[in-house]
Structure 1
């Protein structure tokens, strides 16, 4: 009997204990839930920095002028090179502060002219100056005596080394042209280097009292479509020649005064551009172009031709 009662009491006691434990667990869970709800209500939304926050895992660093390169825009992106010929400065503008630049005739662009288009029975005598001035006095004297005007292509270095020569050429009524600053081969130069060569010579000639624009002659006659277009963009017409006398080769190069004369006579045609040089041959000191010039002018006149400067190219 006693064992039966003891057995009946023990299960009831254990049930009460379990109820008490369950109640405690429920209370604790509710307390935890209440705390969590309180934190959720009072906390700031995730990802939004507080008033004193300067950075976060998702925020973007503040850019500064010293640390961040500007985004390319229309003002910072270099334009693609323009392969089409352009006349360069607009009429009336001058990048060097000299006299205004006239617009170039469209028909003269993109070419290295070898003759005067549609000029009729006239020729142009042209003289390059890049070495010394050994024959300048003789050439100017002959041109004056024969009442002939010519065009002189000068390098900037020649102008700087021959003070007063520009005045002498201009005083006799002759025309000037640009032959670069230091006489390099242009096809090996960048566009920037070409600009430096042309603008350097232009500045030297302007400073000496002359103006070479808009005529340019390539050193050594080296050119291609790119450099011609670059010259045009700088406001110049590229002018080559119809006849090279080869007087610059001198007697050491197998040339004589007679061969210089014959080359000109044989190459005569309407609008011909004749190339000669001012300097002496560096090996033998000869000045064959100057020596042959009186005979050249006589033969040209006898053949019925007159003489013009390269300004004839600009005649509409």
Structure 2
């Protein structure tokens, strides 16, 4: 009897344990099912999208957003045939800067673009002003000193006559005040090379150096020599004329050389200077005189003869012009 009672107790205990185990398994299955039905508490895995994201990170659990479409802005739209990809800022086309407008390096001078002259003047070293009326152009070369400049400027001012002054670069550097006086008086300025060499013995590259060097020196002194050029010693040929034309200059020679530069030591007088000028008088005459003094006797015959030359040309019924007349001015 006691043994049967003990067996019954053991069966009850086993039954209770089994029942509890079944309940625990059921609870576990329920919890697992619920967990699978909602997102875990940790951060979501990254979302891969073919649509570009905005620059700011997408908050967890929110949708990725498209970047805003660019608003068309006429002021920055591409020009000509340029195109841009959607969403990118249009790129303005590159600006081409003419070589002559490129800023100079510190301490250097870049000349302005060559001044134009009529194509009909190419290939010439002019000895007359073409198709001119009864007018004369008085021209003065400056390559030595400035001894005769005060007398020349005074005579021109007193008679109300314009002149054209061909300056070397060296003269302009040595006499910047003289350049200023010439310009202030309203006279024309031309280019007479940098150092006054014979051009026919120079290469095209050296010709360019001489012409541009003088241009820069004269410009630095306050004058613009373009577009008139006079060959030193009058030495020129077809090649050298073409070279200065290509540099933006028309070559101007003379109708008559007064020979005043020879001085009294060379057998010249002021009367001879005047007579030579009047003997060659013709419409469009270009007269060659010099500013500097003779190196041997110190005479300035052209400056001394100038008042009489002006009076006699005026009496002959002629007027005076600068070489601007060649440009139709």
Partner of 2:175: 162
Partner of 1:291: 304
Q: Which has the higher contact order (CA 8 A, sep 6+)?
A: 1
Q: Distance in 2 between matches of 1:200 and 1:113?
A: 23
Residue 103 of structure 1 deviates from its aligned partner by 2.5
Residue 119 of structure 1 deviates from its aligned partner by 1.2
For residues 112-156 of structure 1, the C-alpha deviation after alignment (integer angstroms, 9 at most, x for no partner) is: 000100111001000000000000011000000000000000000
Q: Secondary structure at the match of 1:281?
A: coil
Match 1:246 to one of 243, 259, 264: 259
Q: Distance in 2 between matches of 1:190 and 1:98?
A: 21
1:307 matches 2:320: yes
Q: Secondary structure at the match of 1:274?
A: strand
Residue 92 of structure 1 deviates from its aligned partner by 11
1:237 matches 2:250: yes
1:272 matches 2:285: yes
Residue 98 of structure 1 deviates from its aligned partner by 4.1
Residue 179 of structure 1 deviates from its aligned partner by 0.1
Partner of 1:106: 119
1:144 matches 2:167: no
Q: Distance in 2 between matches of 1:262 and 1:124?
A: 16
Give the gaps of 5 or more residues in structure 1. 1-90
Matches within 5 A, 1:157-196: 157-196=170-209
Match 1:218 to one of 209, 228, 231: 231
Q: Distance in 1 between matches of 2:173 and 2:114?
A: 23
Number of aligned residue pairs: give it: 226
**Contact in 2 for aligned 1:94/1:101 (Cα 8 Å):** no
Q: Distance in 1 between matches of 2:141 and 2:101?
A: 25
Q: Distance in 2 between matches of 1:146 and 1:93?
A: 40
Partner of 2:275: 262
**Contact in 2 for aligned 1:92/1:101 (Cα 8 Å):** no
Q: Secondary structure at the match of 2:146?
A: coil
**Contact in 2 for aligned 1:150/1:308 (Cα 8 Å):** yes
Residue 296 of structure 1 deviates from its aligned partner by 0.1
Residue 293 of structure 1 deviates from its aligned partner by 0.2
For residues 149-198 of structure 1, the C-alpha deviation after alignment (integer angstroms, 9 at most, x for no partner) is: 00000000001111311110001000000000000000000000000000
**Contact in 1 for aligned 2:110/2:216 (Cα 8 Å):** no
Q: Secondary structure at the match of 1:307?
A: strand
Give the gaps of 5 or more residues in structure 2. 1-97, 103-108
Q: Secondary structure at the match of 1:164?
A: helix
For residues 235-258 of structure 1, the C-alpha deviation after alignment (integer angstroms, 9 at most, x for no partner) is: 000000001000000011010111
**Contact in 1 for aligned 2:260/2:289 (Cα 8 Å):** yes
CA RMSD of aligned residues (A): 1.6
**Rg (Cα) greater in structure:** 2
Q: Distance in 1 between matches of 2:318 and 2:247?
A: 33
Q: Distance in 2 between matches of 1:136 and 1:259?
A: 20
1:116 matches 2:124: no
Q: Distance in 2 between matches of 1:102 and 1:161?
A: 25
Q: Distance in 1 between matches of 2:151 and 2:228?
A: 24
Residue 97 of structure 1 deviates from its aligned partner by 3.8
**Contact in 2 for aligned 1:92/1:100 (Cα 8 Å):** no
Q: Secondary structure at the match of 1:160?
A: helix
For residues 202-230 of structure 1, the C-alpha deviation after alignment (integer angstroms, 9 at most, x for no partner) is: 00011111100000000000000000000
Partner of 2:20: none
